[in-house]
């Protein structure tokens, strides 16, 4: 169980926002926008910075309308709190059970939310049959498990926690003892290679706790990631759980940055914060993530205090009745503050045209927010109806040469490179006058200069 570190004071460093926003609408105006507007929900505000804001969700609570009301209003990424773990998905060897996890994925798809998968391998929450296995039999069972579960969700997961909590606490900086570790030190890279083969479009993360500052444990993980990158072991991201007891450590941002500098994304994966300085501490975490261009999003580990695994500590953003807490407001304000949106310099905007892009059709605008890293990017596109409601929309994007889409969400698409057309899916085609909906995609290559055009029906 994660240890809760002593609160530290954090030095905040803010970085000027570099928001690349291409807008084209009924008037077909295209412009470069240097600052994002202030969103009114966690998800929308994070999206304006090219990031997501997620929550851990329990399938058993999806019938609670207070719970889903908050979930669908505020969050655009979902991590199943327990439903994708080994004991839940493979209760008997070779017999896979996806009912609860599928329910969560269906909910996410119906509400335009993306999924983080958690967790393909972990020393905890193994089914009894795996707990009593060892050696080659366990190694093969692990490979079979990853192949099946990541295969079942292929194309539906933004990022997988492939390996969870494999490093030891304390000063050793080494691996934690476990039945998986005893199958051989290469078990982690085997897990990552197996996951890549099963779902090549998912980002593959290593996830752990007590790694929030620069310490022996986080340095052990840092050395592993550096080794993986140098040997071509497929790893795309590192998750920092951030179960905190106050302000994050003063070197929190520097720690995220040193991992990002290795060429991986970083994500805050299980955030919850106890203590009287909660509101400031949440803001400090958000600001640190916004200051690191490869910090792609933040997930809180539950919605209401009553949903938290930390019983009695009230570490979340909503109280037991679903009311917003002070920590919610400080989080939202921090998301609306300065932060990096792209890690590459903005490109010059295309010329402004005065002719309507869709004469005779309903007007709409499409604004793109980019999160670019070396070799790939995520584009979030916000479709906003003009003065008339839309009964459907098509957004056309021309990708730079060499850019190829690997994954898209909340829209149907034709093609994966060159000129690509995205059309609404069933649930997001009807957009009220002045209202918005979002979709997005992930691609290899460069997203520089993307300027989507929108046509409404
Ligand atoms: O321990 C907090 C988190 C640390 N990082 C990995 C996460 O996966 C972990 O999540 C927690 C869940 O929030 C709990 O809900 O993992 C726990 C298990 O280690 C989860 O608790 C378990 C209870 O121990 C079980 O008795 C219960 O059946 O939740 C299960 C489902 O409600």
Residue ID of nearest Cα to ligand 1 atom 28: 82
Give Dmax over CA atoms of the chain in angstroms. 70
Would you tell me the crossing angle of helices 216-231 and 252-260 to the nearest 10 degrees?
10
What's the gap between Cα 35 and its chain centre? 22
Which residues, other chains included, contact 426 with Cβ-Cβ below 8 Å and sequence gap of 6+?
none
Cα 82 to middle of ligand 1, angstroms: 6
What's the gap between Cα 426 and its chain centre? 24
User: Tokens at residue 270, please?
Assistant: 């299980």
Which residues, other chains included, contact 276 with Cβ-Cβ below 8 Å and sequence gap of 6+?
none
Cα 366 to middle of ligand 1, angstroms: 40
Residue ID of nearest Cα to ligand 1 atom 32: 82
User: CA–CA distance from 40 to each of 118, 318, 341, 389 (Å)?
Assistant: 28, 15, 18, 21
Separation CA 237–CA 254 (nearest Å): 16
Q: Which residues line ligand 1 (CB under 6 A)?
A: 1-2, 81-82, 124-125, 164, 209, 241, 270, 309
* pLDDT of the residue at 344: 33
Reading across the β-sheet that carries 436-444, which strands appear in turn? 23-24, 364-373, 376-385, 436-444, 404-409
> Of all atoms in ligand 1, which is nearest to the CA of residue 209?
5
3-state SS class at 288? helix
> Of all atoms in ligand 1, which is nearest to the CA of residue 60?
32
Is residue 238 within 8 A of residue 294, CB to CB? The reply is no
In testing the pocket of ligand 1, which one of 57, 82, 208 has its CB within 8 Å of the most ligand atoms?
Answer: 82
Residue ID of nearest Cα to ligand 1 atom 1: 1
Separation CA 303–CA 208 (nearest Å): 21
Separation CA 74–CA 64 (nearest Å): 16
Query: Chunked in runs of 10, what are the mean pLDDT values of the chain (457 residues)?
Result: 40 25 27 53 96 98 98 98 98 98 98 97 98 97 98 97 97 96 97 97 97 98 97 97 98 98 97 98 98 98 98 98 98 88 36 33 82 74 88 94 85 92 86 83 87 93
Q: What is the pTM of this model?
A: 0.73
Residue ID of nearest Cα to ligand 1 atom 31: 82
> Of all atoms in ligand 1, which is nearest to the CA of residue 119?
8
Cα 235 to middle of ligand 1, angstroms: 25
Cα 309 to middle of ligand 1, angstroms: 7
* pLDDT of the residue at 407: 79
Residue ID of nearest Cα to ligand 1 atom 10: 81
Cα 269 to middle of ligand 1, angstroms: 14
Whose CA is closest to 436, among 399, 384, 394, 400?
384
Q: For 307-317, what is each residue's pLDDT tens digit?
A: 999 999 999 99
H or E, element range at 381: strand 376-385
Residue ID of nearest Cα to ligand 1 atom 18: 125
Cis peptide before 119 (omega within 30 of 0): yes
In testing the pocket of ligand 1, which one of 54, 57, 81, 89 has its CB within 8 Å of the most ligand atoms?
Answer: 81
> Of all atoms in ligand 1, which is nearest to the CA of residue 301?
13
Can you give the length of the chain in residues? 457
Q: For 202-242, what is each residue's pLDDT tens digit?
A: 999 999 999 999 999 999 999 999 999 999 999 999 999 99
Separation CA 169–CA 174 (nearest Å): 9
* pLDDT of the residue at 455: 93
Separation CA 162–CA 90 (nearest Å): 16
> Of all atoms in ligand 1, which is nearest to the CA of residue 1?
1
Phi, psi of 354 (to 5 degrees): -100, -5
By DSSP bridging, strand 243-244 and strand 265-273 are parallel
**CA atoms within 13 A of residue 264's CA, in its CB half-sphere:** 32
> Of all atoms in ligand 1, which is nearest to the CA of residue 309?
13
Q: How many other C-beta atoms can be found within 10 angstroms of the C-beta atom of residue 146?
A: 26
Phi, psi of 220 (to 5 degrees): -60, -45
* pLDDT of the residue at 378: 76
Residue ID of nearest Cα to ligand 1 atom 27: 82
Separation CA 18–CA 171 (nearest Å): 39
What's the gap between Cα 106 and its chain centre? 17
Residue 123, Ramachandran bin (φ over 0: left; ψ between -120 and 50: alpha; else beta)? alpha
Catalytic positions, please? 165, 270
By DSSP bridging, strand 430-431 and strand 390-391 are antiparallel
Q: Where are the beta strands (DSSP E) in 209-310?
A: 237-240, 243-244, 265-273, 295-300
Give the position of tokens 């059970």: 97
Cα 436 to middle of ligand 1, angstroms: 36
Separation CA 404–CA 444 (nearest Å): 5
**CA atoms within 13 A of residue 10's CA, in its CB half-sphere:** 29
Cα 350 to middle of ligand 1, angstroms: 50
Cα 123 to middle of ligand 1, angstroms: 12
SS3 content of the chain, % helix, strand, coil (to 5): 30, 25, 45
Separation CA 104–CA 81 (nearest Å): 10
Residue ID of nearest Cα to ligand 1 atom 21: 309
Which residues, other chains included, contact 95 with Cβ-Cβ below 8 Å and sequence gap of 6+?
none
Separation CA 210–CA 248 (nearest Å): 11
């Amino acid at each position: 169980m994660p240890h809760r570190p002593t609160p530290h004071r954090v030095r905040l460093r803010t970085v000027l926002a570099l928001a690349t926003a291409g807008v084209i609408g009924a008037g077909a105006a295209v412009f470069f926008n240097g600052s994002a507007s202030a969103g009114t929900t966690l998800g929308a505000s994070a999206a304006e910075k090219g990031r997501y804001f997620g929550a851990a969700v329990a399938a058993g609570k999806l019938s609670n309308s207070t719970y889903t009301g908050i979930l669908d209003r505020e969050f655009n990424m979902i991590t199943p709190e327990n439903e994708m773990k080994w004991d839940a998905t493979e209760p008997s060897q070779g017999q896979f059970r996806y009912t609860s996890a599928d329910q969560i994925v269906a909910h996410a798809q119906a509400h335009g939310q993306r999924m983080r998968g958690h967790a393909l391998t972990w020393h905890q929450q193994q089914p009894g049959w795996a707990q009593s296995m060892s050696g080659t039999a366990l190694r093969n069972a692990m490979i079979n498990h990853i192949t099946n579960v990541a295969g079942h969700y292929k194309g539906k997961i933004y990022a997988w926690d492939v390996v969870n909590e494999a490093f030891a606490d304390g000063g050793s900086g080494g691996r934690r003892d476990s039945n998986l570790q005893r199958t051989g030190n290469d078990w982690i890279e085997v897990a990552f290679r197996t996951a890549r083969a099963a779902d090549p479009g998912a980002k593959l993360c290593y996830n752990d706790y007590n790694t929030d500052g620069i310490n022996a444990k986080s340095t052990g993980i840092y050395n592993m990631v550096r080794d993986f990158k140098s040997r071509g072991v497929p790893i795309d991201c590192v998750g920092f759980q951030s179960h905190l007891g106050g302000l994050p450590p003063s070197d929190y941002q520097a720690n995220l940055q040193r991992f990002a500098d290795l060429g991986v994304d970083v994500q805050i994966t299980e955030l919850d914060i106890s203590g009287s300085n909660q509101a400031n501490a949440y803001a400090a975490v958000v600001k640190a993530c916004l200051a690191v261009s490869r910090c792609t999003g933040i997930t809180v580990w539950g919605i209401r205090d009553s949903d938290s695994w930390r019983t009695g500590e009230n570490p979340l953003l909503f109280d037991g009745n679903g009311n917003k807490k002070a920590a919610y407001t400080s989080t939202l304000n921090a998301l609306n503050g300065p932060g990096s949106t792209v890690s590459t310099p903005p490109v010059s905007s295309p010329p402004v045209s005065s002719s309507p892009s869709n004469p005779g059709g309903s007007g709409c605008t499409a604004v793109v927010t980019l999160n670019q890293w070396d070799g790939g990017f995520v584009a979030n596109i916000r479709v906003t109806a003009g003065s008339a409601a839309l009964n459907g929309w098509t957004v056309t994007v021309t990708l730079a040469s060499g850019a190829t889409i690997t994954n898209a969400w909340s829209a149907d698409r034709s093609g994966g490179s060159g000129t690509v057309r995205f059309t609404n899916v069933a649930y997001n085609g009807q957009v009220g006058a002045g209202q918005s909906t979002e979709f997005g995609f992930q691609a290899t290559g460069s997203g520089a200069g993307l300027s989507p055009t929108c046509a409404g029906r």
